[in-house]
Amino acid sequence: MVIIHAAAELADFLKKERLTRGLVGFVPTMGALHEGHASLMQQARRDTQVVVLSIFVNPKQFNENADFVNYPVTREADLELARNEGVDVVFLPDVSDVYEDSFQTESANYGDLTAVFEGGKRPGHFDGVVSVVRRLFKIVRPDLAFFGEKDLQQLAVIRQLSKIEFPRIQVIGCPLIRDEDGLAMSSRNVRISASDRGHALKLHSSLLDVLRCSKTQGDLHGAIDRNRDLLNEDEHIELEYFAAVNGKEFSILKGREVPEETFVIVAAVVGGVRLIDNCRLGCS
């Protein structure tokens, strides 16, 4: 496994690899890697010949400085995991390699998609995500890029970025991975205390309850309202949103019909840690 820090060196290295080996698969991350990230690397390993992993804690996508400062950094363990997953190249850029001289983001405006839910609750977040992914796509020039469905809205935003600016890059969404107790895997989970974990797990159980009620009673909207109330009643949970949406546009589902692309999405702060989760309606 090769480790490269400079953007120009990576571009040069990949030029040769592309010619001799084939498709380039790209897994962009902010490190603090877990099994969710490993599943992206495995998918990239299956689908492409050259697997590139980037680790860059992007300061511009944290709308709260405390979240940036407290973001876990586990560099040695990350490299070990990448090695075990058969990654070919790890790209570890500096801020100057990614943002060059300006350290500015460009505003990402894809209408409601970038304005609602995560866009509304985390001002500037998608500007930071899109700016860094755009820059990384330009450096790596992957054939396929892999993102987790846990960050479902981010995935939809990146699909839009790719459609408009990088039509040759295929964006692949990979399933959300959960811990054994059901908590959606996230780098921030290490910051949840044992006692708060029980509260955090209610996010998943609420999603499952909506799924069950929608399937067995056809009562999606009632189940959404009931579970939102239950989460709001728990004083350890600061609920930000709990809604059924179209997973491509993030418009709120209104009628009784439940199209295939419907997801229930949730975001909440539990014990000072912001968590998001989602569940596709109609999945088992």
Q: 126, 106, 130, 105: which is closest to 116 by C-alpha?
A: 126
CA angle 21, 177, 198 (to 5 degrees): 155
Residue nearer to ligand PAF on the CB measure, 29 or 206: 29
Judge contact between 92 and 3, C-beta under 8 A.
Answer: yes
Among all chains, which residue has been given the structure tokens 């009632």? 222
Shortest CB 284 distance to ligand PAF, Å: 26
Interface with ligand PAF (CB under 6 A): 28-30, 58, 61, 129, 132-133, 151, 154
Residue nearer to ligand PAF on the CB measure, 28 or 142: 28
Other CB atoms within 10 A of residue 66 CB: 9
Among all chains, which residue has been given the structure tokens 């159980």? 205
Distance of alpha carbon 189 from its chain centroid, rounded? 14
Shortest CB 255 distance to ligand PAF, Å: 32
Residue nearer to ligand PAF on the CB measure, 74 or 282: 74
Residue nearer to ligand PAF on the CB measure, 133 or 239: 133
Shortest CB 148 distance to ligand PAF, Å: 7
Tokens, residue 56: 């860059």
Shortest CB 58 distance to ligand PAF, Å: 4
Which residue out of 34, 37, 199, 204 is catalytically annotated? 37
Shortest CB 215 distance to ligand PAF, Å: 30
Let me know if 199 is a catalytic residue.
Answer: no
Counting beta carbons within 10 angstroms of the beta carbon of residue 48, is it exposed (0 to 12), middle (13 to 18) or buried (19 or more)?
buried
Q: 280, 255, 62, 239: which is closest to 152 by C-alpha?
A: 280
Shortest CB 230 distance to ligand PAF, Å: 29
Residue nearer to ligand PAF on the CB measure, 155 or 203: 155
Residue nearer to ligand PAF on the CB measure, 187 or 214: 187
Beta-bridge mates of residue 146? 172
Q: 171, 179, 229, 231: which is closest to 205 by C-alpha?
A: 231
Residues involved in catalysis: 37
